[in-house]
Each structure stands twice: as C-alpha cells, then as structure tokens.
A and B are shown apart, each in its own frame.
Chain A
Amino acid sequence: MNAPQTPHALHFMPSEGFRARAKDVVENPFLRQSFRGAMDFLMSKRAAQFPDPEELESLRRLGERIRQYNLAKLPELLEKLEANLTRNGINVHWAETPEEANAIILGICQKHSAKLMVKGKSMVSEEIELNHAAEAAGIGALESDMGEYIVQLAHEKPSHIIMPAIHKTKEQIAKLFHENVPGVEYTDNVDALIQIGRQVLREKFEIADIGLSGVNFAVAETGTLCLVENEGNGRMCTTAPPVHIAITGIEKIVEKLEHVPPLLSLLTRSATGQNISTYFNMISSPRKPGEKDGPGEVHLVLLDNGRSQAYADEQLRKTLQCIRCGACMNHCPVYTRIGGHAYGTTYPGPIGKIISPHMLGLEATATMATASSLCGACGEVCPVKIPIPELLIRLREESFTAPHANPAMRGQGAGYSARISAVWRAWGAIYGSPALYRAASWLASRFRWLTPRKQAGWTSVRTPLQPAPKRLRDLIKERKP
C-alpha cells in the first residue's frame, strides 16, 4: 500500500477563491470570446441532433426512467454486478474514499512492478487525483486522450468533462508541444499536432504496464463494462497493456444490456452532437485462453466518495442520474462566462455545483450553489431530466440555514451566518405582515431620496435602484372616487 502523500482536499481550491477566479476570466475578453464560441458550437451540434421537441422529450423521459429504475435497485445491482464480473474473471474492488481508490490502484501497479500507466479519459481518476498519487509512488501516469494529454502537458486540470482542453487555442497547444515534446518544431496545423500526439502515445501504449480507463455504463446482469470514446485510445488502454484497471462511481450501473442503447444515444447526442461515438467498447473479461489480445488481468474499482450520501436522500439522489454528457455546462450562461477552472472542482458547471458538495463537503463548496441565476437552461437540456435548479435551491438551504441535528449532508450549515439569517427573518416578518409591509414600503417610497446611491454588487455596472414616488397601491387609491 502506498497512499498519496498529501491530503486529498488540498489539490482542490476552496470555494472562497471562486469569485476572484471567475472575475479573472470574465475580465479576459479573449477567454470570454473563446468560451462563447465553443459553447455556441456545441449547442448547435446538439440542437441539430434533436430537431423534434416531442421526440426529445420522450427520449429524456425514457432516460430519466432508466436511471431512476436502476438507482432504485442500486444496492442489489451492485452485488449482482460484483458477482457477474467475478464470474467473468474481472476483479472487483470497493473504495469508499479517493485515498482508498488510489491505494487499490497503486497496490495493483506495485504488484506488477509497474513503471508506466497509460490512461484513457476518466473523470473519476481526476476526482481521486490519481496522477498525483501515482507520481508520488514513482509510477508514470500518461493521459492518452488528446485533450487530457494537452492538459497534462500544461500541468492543468480539465476545464470541461467532455472537452478537457476547450480553454486552449491551437497556438497555445502548438507552443506546448514544441516546448515539451523532444524534437518537435512549432506548428499550429491541427492535423499535424494530432499526428504528433498520436506518435508519442503510440509508443507508450506498447511499453505501458497498466492501462487505466473509466466506465460509462456497468451492466449488472452480464458483468460488462461499457466505454464510450472517440479516439481509439480507450480501446488501446483497455487491450494493449497486460493489466487493465477500470474505475467508476457506484452510480454508473444499469441492470440490463437493453438499458444501454437509449442512454448511449442520449449521451453522444447531448454531449458532442454525434449520432454515435467513433468507438464503443464492451469489456466482459480478461484475455481468454487462445485469444490473441487483451489484458491478462482486469480490475474494476467502484468508488463511493460521497455518492451514498446523495443516495440516502430522495431529492438529492437525482444528482446520481447523471450520465456525464456535459450538456448542462455547454448551455450554462455562467459556465460560458467563466469556464471550468474557475469552479476549482473536478466537475465544473451545473453538474459540478450539485455533485461536488457530496464529494468535498459543504464547508468547501457552500458558495458554489450561489453561482447560478436559476435560469433553468441546465435542467431543460439534461438528457436524464435532473432538476438541477431545484437541487441548487436545496443546496442553498443546506448551506445557509443554521446547523441542525441529523443533517442530510456533510457540512450542513457551513455557510450559516447569524446576520444574514436575521436579515431574512426580518424580511419574512415584514413581507409576512400586510401592516408592516404597508408601513415599510410607504417609508421606502416617501424617503426614496435616502436610498443609497451605492448598492453592493448592483451599482458596479447598473444605475442604483430607487423606489417609485408612489406605489401601485397608492395609484389605485388615487384613481378610485
């Protein structure tokens, strides 16, 4: 066992820095323009996939029902999955925390005296910061998805769950390659850049000891791991190296094979506007006697990391319906303005706001839920109908109301402020009483000249708010005889 050297939460920036990071991006016209352009492109690709609103609605309802059906049976399905994977010769491991998951993966690596791990795209491996842990244990971890590879060269984190390097221009990538890949001349020809990346990675696939991947759907009744990808690197990671380790969250499970096609279709159409991804892998066992390829050993690590907390609450459980398509971020006016890094969490955007509090606790994430105008664009496009705005309101309540016994969430009340609560109590007292409201609104309009000219937050880019000289109720009274 070789646990990571630094405590897990240290790598994730606390939510206090959120506003400053958001401000940096918002004030950078170049980044603003580039995110806007990228999100516009993704939105139009998705829209072209769903020309018929009624068909879209019925597909979303189907997606929602499949996810809810499977979540309702989750404990039973997890046992079934373990039994069927084991029967198929795949080793199943359970990890409650990121530390445990890293220890399991690095333990397998060390058993094989591994020097190099090639990685297919896996957000769960980002969630546990596997690359840091591997590095600390002296094991090389190389990202093989082109976007992830770029982000790794730049020592950054993905800024989008589907398009990790969406924040980078081709010029920046050209510079990165030129500076980091030996013998590469500067070129910003995109095809040439992809070829360079492919050549580097091709060599590594041949010598890697371990291939790591995520999982999009784990099918309980057949013991099958499904992996969706576009570059073929996922297939390389799961077939070329002698050992394949897959890692996924416990919620990614479906009971039957027939649950996969509708979800797969919703996933690729919502995520990248593709009818189907270029590759779809179904992994059901290690190499069998007589087979010419495939890893000799396959492992699955099932990670909890706060998911069972979300699971325990009927409303919060809906968070786990997510199939990680990223459509919510593509359509989010906040994500479009600030990009993924500002969030400071593995999962950015609307889904990040509702899932991160379960992983990191509300202490670290209390302010995230406030970064939404509740416009509802995320909930409108979610292929499995997660009511994201409703969940954001719930998280605000969990964060800002006074700490109480038996909270549904770790860190409940972390954003509690006696002063703010008192303000809302006073607000409730005034607006809950016709007489007090009449008096207060009369005073506000009578003494409107006393309204402060500087109003925190509001007047930085707007003229001050000022009550009208007469209220509607006054105008109505004046009109009547």
Chain B
Amino acid sequence: MHSRSAYPTDVYFFATCVVDQFFPGAGMDAITLLERQGIRVHFPEEQTCCGQPAYTSGFPDEARKVAALQLTLFPNDWPVVVPSGSCAGMMKHHYPTLFAADPARKAAAEHLSARVYELTQFLVEVLNFKPEDCGGDCTVVLHTSCSARREMGVHITGKKLLGDLAKVTVAQQDHESECCGFGGTFSVKQPEISAAMVEDKVKSLKATGAERVVSADCGCLMNILGHAAWKDQQAGLSKPSLPGEHIATFLLRRTAKESAQ
C-alpha cells in the first residue's frame, strides 16, 4: 500500500481510452502538471481501457478480459494516477469484485486497487499541491462526475484545487450533484432521457454566467460540451456559449508561470 506521508518519485499514468483517443491534450496536461511537481510519470504503452463500458453494460466476461490486461501493466509499487473519477472508480472498486472467483487475479486487483488515485485526489491528498494562480480574474463552474462524487468520494478535491486559485471564482450551479446524463451506453440506449438530463445540466451551468465549465471527467465533458456545441449550432452561434476543458488543462494554464521557473 502506498504511504501518503512519503512524497512519491514515480507514478504510473493510466490515461483511459477516452483521453487517449478523444482528449489527448487533457492527458498531456495532466502528465505535465505531475512532472512539474517533480514526479517521473510512466505511461505503460500497452494500456487500453479499464473495461467499464462492458462491465456496466452487463458483459462481465469481456470486461474481465480487458481488465486482466491492465492488471499486468503496473508492476512497481507506484501510485496509479487516472484523470477520470469514473475509470479510477472502476479500477479501485470494481476490479476486486470482477475477479472474485480468480484468486491470483483478485490479489493483483487488490494490490492495484489500493494504489489507484483520481488525478485531483492525488494532487491534493498525496502531493498537497497548492496551485499558484498566475492568470487574471475568471469565473468557472465545476462539474463533478457521479463516480468521482459517490464512488471515489473525491468531489472535495477538485473544488479545493479551484478554490486555491486566487483569481478564480467558482460559480455554484443548481442541482450541482445531479448526473449530466452521460452514463456510457445509457446515452445511446435511452437517448431521450439522456438528452433531457444533459439539456437541464447545460442550462444550469450556463445560468451561473461562468465563462467555462471544468471537469475531471472527460466522459461528462464529451456529453456536456457536445450538447452545448449542438445548441450553439442550432442557434447559429459561431463562438461557443459554454466552452469547457479538463481540470488538468485549466490548472496547467493558470499556473503557467511555474514552467518558466
């Protein structure tokens, strides 16, 4: 088990398939942010996906197959940092159950599970990272994924990081803890309900008047920004009415002066 008191020298980075393929910039920024804290970041090249899509869709055999591959990729006793509460939750909380009937893999899953951190959790709880704000005045709104909030219990850490930025105001949206309606395959299996949920979410985010939304989960961002952009298209707007980005990207930009040091 990784000890919280010791400052880590090395970490593994598990990017997630969504970041690898759709939000590579967010992954790069998360890596840079970690490196700036003096940490060597290792990216096992054979990583693919945590297996969650199959798991939550009711195909545990396929999920196990994919998860079994990830189990082999983190041999050293370093923390595994994941820029997504949802994928981190899968690895931390569901891997041990997934391999309950396979003693060897179960042990490996438990060994991994204990070292898995969501990015903002790692920055706050392990690194005690206090971002120094180098940007101008700005208001943002934070969307925390349901897995980060309820499975990982790390909704505090994203908030804390943003709160530490001197010139950033964090706006408060109504129904903050409500799901954005993504839910993986839910968004395509029940498109009408998912659409209603993301519609309400985007409305309440916009109602805050914040200039951008940040989130530590790219799944939610894909959904929220995808809907906001679609709305803009419908309205013939060329400039996004609700831009957004991964919290790693936002933090990196706000602390940009540090890179010159």
Contact of B46 among A395, A396, A434 (CB under 8 A): A434
Determine whether the beta carbon of B190 is less than 8 Å from that of A470: no
Which partner residue on chain A sits nearest B64 by CB separation? Answer: A428
Which of A338, A379, A397, A473 contacts B58, CB < 8 Å?
Answer: A397
State which of B160-168, B178-186, B206-214 sits at the interface with chain A: B178-186
Q: Are B58 and A461 in contact, with the CB atoms below 8 A?
A: no
Interface residues of A (CB under 8 A from B): 19, 22-23, 26-27, 32, 333-334, 337-338, 369-377, 379-380, 393, 395-401, 421, 424-425, 427-428, 430-434, 437, 441, 444-445, 455-463, 465-468, 470-476, 479
Main secondary structure on A side of the interface with B = helix
Chain A hits for B184, CB < 8 A: 373-374
Determine if B259 is an interface residue (Cβ-Cβ < 8 Å): no
CB of B151 within 8 Å of the partner chain: yes
Residues of B with C-beta under 8 A to A433: 69
B39 within 8 A of A: no
* Distance of A375 Cα from B187 Cα, bound (Å): 12
- Beyond A457-B191, A462-B230, whether A434 also contacts B58 by CB under 8 A is no
Contact A333 B186 (CB under 8 A): no
What is the bound-complex CA distance between A327 and B42, given in angstroms?
44
A471 and B20 contacting across the interface, CB-CB below 8 Å: yes
Q: Is the interface of B mostly helix, strand, loop or mixed?
A: helix
Interface centre among A376, A456, A470 (most CB of B within 10 A): A376
B22 near A374 with CB under 8 A, answer no
Per-position binary interface string of chain B over residues 143-155, scored 1 when its CB falls under 8 Å from any chain A CB and 0 otherwise: 0001101110000
- What band does the interface of chain B fall in when counting residues whose beta carbon is under 8 Å from A? 35 or more
- The interface bits of chain B over 6-48 (1 if a CB of A lies within 8 angstroms of the residue's CB, else 0) are 0000000001010111111101100100000000000101111
Residue of A nearest to B224 (CB): A462
Once A424-B59, A425-B62, A462-B226 are accepted as A-B contacts, the answer to whether A373 and B54 lie under 8 Å apart by CB is: no
Closest to B60 in A: A397
Contacts of B146 in A (CB 8 A): 373-377
Query: How far is A460 from B146 in the complex, measured between Cα atoms in Å?
Result: 23
Residue in A393, A437, A444 whose CB lies within 8 Å of B56: A393
With A374-B184, A476-B28 given, can you name 14 additional A-B contacts, CB distance below 8 Å?
A372-B183, A373-B181, A373-B183, A376-B147, A377-B178, A377-B179, A421-B59, A424-B62, A428-B59, A434-B48, A434-B69, A437-B48, A441-B20, A461-B198
B137 within 8 A of A: no
- Chain A's nearest CB lies how many Å from the CB of B30? 10
A residues near B191, Cβ cutoff 8 Å:
456-458, 460-461
- B27 contacts A472, CB within 8 Å? yes
Enumerate 21 A-B pairs (CB-CB under 8 Å) in ascending A order: A19-B190, A334-B197, A371-B189, A373-B197, A374-B146, A393-B55, A396-B58, A424-B59, A432-B68, A457-B187, A457-B191, A458-B188, A462-B230, A463-B233, A465-B22, A467-B22, A471-B20, A471-B24, A472-B24, A473-B43, A476-B31
Contacts of B58 in A (CB 8 A): 369, 393, 395-401
Residues on the A chain within 8 Å of B62, using CB: 424-425, 427-428, 432
Q: Which residues on the A side are within 8 Å of B22 (C-beta)?
A: 465-468
Tell me how far the C-beta of B131 lies from the nearest C-beta in chain A, rounded to whole angstroms: 23
Per the bound structure, the CA–CA distance linking A424 and B51 in Å amounts to 11
Which residue of B is nearest A467, CB measured? Answer: B21
Q: Is B172 an interface residue (CB 8 A)?
A: no
